[in-house]
Amino acid sequence: MKMADDRIRFLKHAIKHKGKRYRVHYSTGELINFPKGTVTIYARDYSFKDGGLPKELNPKNDTDIITDYFEKDRARITPDNRYFKDIMKLLKKRGLD
């Protein structure tokens, strides 16, 4: 019996989780209201049904359909987040740390 892989895999241009691939890009720019080193993951696609990022990353999206304001999902990964080391490993490999 094959079970779904629950871990999140961070790839160069995507995240894989539970058999689904989420197209993303990463940003390491400094943020005013977040700890130093925080990484932001941005979804590349609009996805109103499944979401643009896995729910385990606690994505934010301030879309307001009534006013025609649309955003793609984003997740802030702070240094105390359990996924931070995996993301930094990927970014260092790509030379983006």
CA distance 51 to 43: 9
Grouping H, G, I as helix, E, B as strand and the rest as coil, residue 95 is: coil
What residue spans of 1-97 are helical by DSSP H?
Answer: 84-94
Angle at 59 between CA 27 and CA 21, to 5 degrees: 80
Q: Give the pLDDT confidence score for residue 84 in this predicted structure.
A: 93
pLDDT of 59 reads 85
- What six digits make up the tokens of 79? 């240094």
Using the structure block, give the residue that is written with the tokens 């941005």: 42
Please state the domain extents for the chain: 9-94
Q: What are the tens digits of pLDDT across the range 12-47? A: 999 998 888 889 999 998 899 999 999 999 988 776
Q: Higher pLDDT residue, 25 or 1?
A: 25
How far is the C-alpha of 27 from the C-alpha of 39, rounded, in Å? 6
Q: What are all long-range contacts of 15-22, with beta carbons under 8 Å and residues at least 24 apart?
A: 15/41, 15/53, 15/54, 15/57, 17/54, 17/56, 18/54, 20/50, 20/54, 22/52, 22/53, 22/54
Q: Give per-residue pLDDT as tens, 47-90.
A: 655 666 788 888 888 777 778 788 788 899 999 999 999 999 99
